[in-house]
Amino acid sequence: MNIKNKLKTLIIKNPLTLDCGKIINNYPIAYETYGTLNEKKDNAILAFHALTGDQYVAGINPVTNKNGWWSHLVGPSKGIDTNKYFVICANVIGGCMGSYGPSSIDPKTNEILGINFPVITINDMVNAQYNLLEFFKIDKLFSVVGGSMGGMQVLQFISNFPNKAKTAIPIACTANHSAQNIAFNELSRQSIMADSNWKDGNYSQLNLSPDRGLSVARMAAHITYLSKNGLQEKFGRKLQERDNLKFGFDADFQIESYLRYQGSIFVDRFDANSYLYITRAMDYFDLTKQFNGNLSNAFCQSKTKFFIISFTSDWLYPTSENKDIVIALNACGADVGFTEIVSDKGHDSFLLDVPDFLSTIKNFLNFNYSIK
Amino acid sequence: MKKEFQIIADLIKDNTRVLDVGCGDGTLMKFLEENKNIDSRGFEISKNKVQNCIGKGLSVIEGDAEKDLQQFPSSSFDYVVLSQTLQAFYNPEKVIDDLLRVSKKAIVTIPNFGFWKIRLHLLTKGTMPITKNLPNEWYNTPNLHMCSIKDFFNFCLKKNIKIVSSLALNGEKTSSINTSSLGLKNLSSELGIFLIEK
């Protein structure tokens, strides 16, 4: 039996009007939880995943059999201590881990939706996940937290539901996708669509899979998650299992081999159409524009305590863009703390074992939980 | 908590909004929040100190006050505090302008270069003075623009900045500074504490 049929899933009956105008209802949201919701229901943390993440934030992901994507941060006695907090994470709509997405079956035609799936936005993702609060009967979350696209969802969540979270931690993100971000995403999409197996998005019906396109997309994106120094230090010009250059186009260099490997394992767990839809949602994200050019207005209704974090070597969502969010929050007198963590691991830092990052989140959460 | 912070805290009215520029380990912020119901924000350049403060529940923003104070809207605080940091900026004049834009009232404390021990050190030894408040050598000090209580007093006069309150601190002893006692206080005090407004 396909493991994906055994995921925890909530069917959302409430109709949701998407930004594109289409209304969806009776759609699935796949989710996972860690820890225990206490009696007062005041210890819940909603974690939002990034582009290629899923609901398996901690523990072992049953599909990949690898550690959850945020297992450095989330788990018993960790930065987000699941002995103490109840952590909820859901697969975004548009995703491919059980939530409503392009690989879902259209009940009308009994066919896979493919690119008949509507174009969704970060706003749509957040509105869909909000149903989890009702499901768990949580009036107010203790925190909303996420990095990269997860951070964008944190910002959108507070903007949509100003007083539904006591604290918010947007990490390594932005309030509006830059031209450079859009450019990299377009490169990835074109790579998928250039694969002859993509078949205008109908590959599943034909039992095909645009693996080469998707793996090149992943390789390109992966470079943007790392820093030049990080790459140089880890790989330099080291050769892959050979003493000399082979004067051919095999992977002579370790970095080539590494990227090829990253691309190849990615296609086993990710759907190409989901990649198109989710990158599109990121590109469309412009919270400043949603508030007519004044980002402060996204937050002026909120009493949430913000903690914004960036990383020194992150050039994809650089400190300057994170600071723009801090400036907008200050402009409306919101409660905000900000730090830039030193790390040479690039944008990926938020997923890795970066001690200052992990300990600062732990202290921030634990202190604010203690003063309820 | 050190005497300087007690004096600063006494100058601040309860239930107000305070920005502590160069908040360090957050001692003053913590005291103000716990004892005077102050809504405080901190600004700090040291990453370690920022992360330490945030772990204590204080809302501190990492940044360089010289560049980043601009992000705060005009009159967004009731008080802004600058403790023994003015001398470390490239452009103290601009920083004071910025402080008085962000907040109507500013509390500025300065290590007094007119203190008799400093004068004596320079007079007798002929080398740059090193004291409790100024512990660094000339070649590694962060202090770029040292001034005396008298200098700051005159600066405010020249810039049409109103001195609402001015206090001198010598050890644990506090006294007020006025025009007639200025010369004496400039000689006998280690620290000047000024509550100013535009």
For residue B43, give the CATH number of its domain: 3.40.50.150
Count of alpha carbons within 13 angstroms of residue A367, beta-carbon side: 18
Q: How far apart are the C-alpha atoms of A13 and A141, rounded to whole Å?
A: 22
Using a cut of 0.90, tell me whether the model's pTM lies above it: yes
Determine, yes or no, domain membership for B130. no
The answer to whether the CB of A32 falls within 8 A of the CB of A129 is: no
Q: Is the pLDDT of residue A1 over 50?
A: no
On chain A, the residues whose CB falls within 8 A of the CB of B71 are 323, 326-327, 330-331
> How many percent of chain A have pLDDT more than 70?
98
Q: What average pLDDT does chain B have?
A: 95
Tell me if B62 is assigned to some domain: yes
Q: How do the domains of chain A map onto residue ranges? A: 3-177+287-370, 182-278
Number of structural domains (chain B) is 1
Q: Cα(B41)–Cα(A371) distance, rounded to whole angstroms?
A: 18
Residue A2: the pLDDT is: 59
pLDDT in tens, A110-164: 999 999 999 999 999 999 999 999 999 999 999 999 999 999 999 999 999 999 9
Give the residue-averaged pLDDT of A340-364.
97
Report CB contact under 8 Å: B57, A367.
Answer: yes
The alpha-carbon gap from B15 to the nearest alpha carbon of chain A, in Å, equals 15
- Whether B123 is covered by a domain: the verdict is no
**pLDDT of res. A63:** 86
CATH number of A182-278: 1.10.1740.110
- Say if domain A3-177+287-370 classifies as CATH 3.40.50.1820: yes
Work out the average pLDDT over B131-160: 93
pLDDT at A3: 61
Query: pLDDT-based confidence at B133, cuts 50/70/90?
Result: confident
> What is the full DSSP assignment across B6-54?
HHHHHHSPSS-EEEEET-TTSHHHHHHHHHH--EEEEEES-HHHHHHHH
B137 within domain boundaries: no
The confidence band for A371, taking pLDDT boundaries of 50, 70 and 90, is confident
Please say if the pLDDT value at position A167 is more than 80: yes
Contact A342 B47 (CB under 8 A): yes
Q: What pLDDT, on the 0 to 100 scale, is given for residue A319? A: 98
What's the pLDDT tens digit per position in A232-280?
999 999 999 999 999 999 999 999 999 999 999 999 999 999 999 999 9
One-character DSSP codes across A218-268: HHHHHHHHS-HHHHHHHTTT-BSS-SS--SSSS--BHHHHHHHHHHHHHHH
Q: How far is CA A325 from CA A154, A183, A320, B18, in A?
A: 12, 22, 9, 21
What sections of chain B are H helices per DSSP? 3-11, 27-36, 47-55, 65-68, 92-102, 116-125, 149-158, 182-188
- The percent helix, strand, coil of chain B (3-state, each to 5) is 40, 25, 35
Averaged over A186-215, what is the pLDDT? 97
pLDDT value for B70: 87
Nearest CA-CA distance, residue B164 and chain A, Å: 26
Q: What is the pLDDT of residue A183?
A: 98
Nearest by CB to B55, from A326, A341, A364: name it: A364
Residue A148 a catalytic site member: yes
Mind listing the pLDDT tens digit for each residue in A36-76?
A: 999 999 999 999 999 999 999 999 999 889 999 999 999 99
Query: Rounded mean pLDDT of B124-147?
Result: 92
Instruction: With H, G, I as helix, E, B as strand and everything else as coil, classify residue B176.
Output: strand
Question: Does some domain include residue B161?
Answer: yes
Its domain, for residue B71, covers: 3-113+144-197
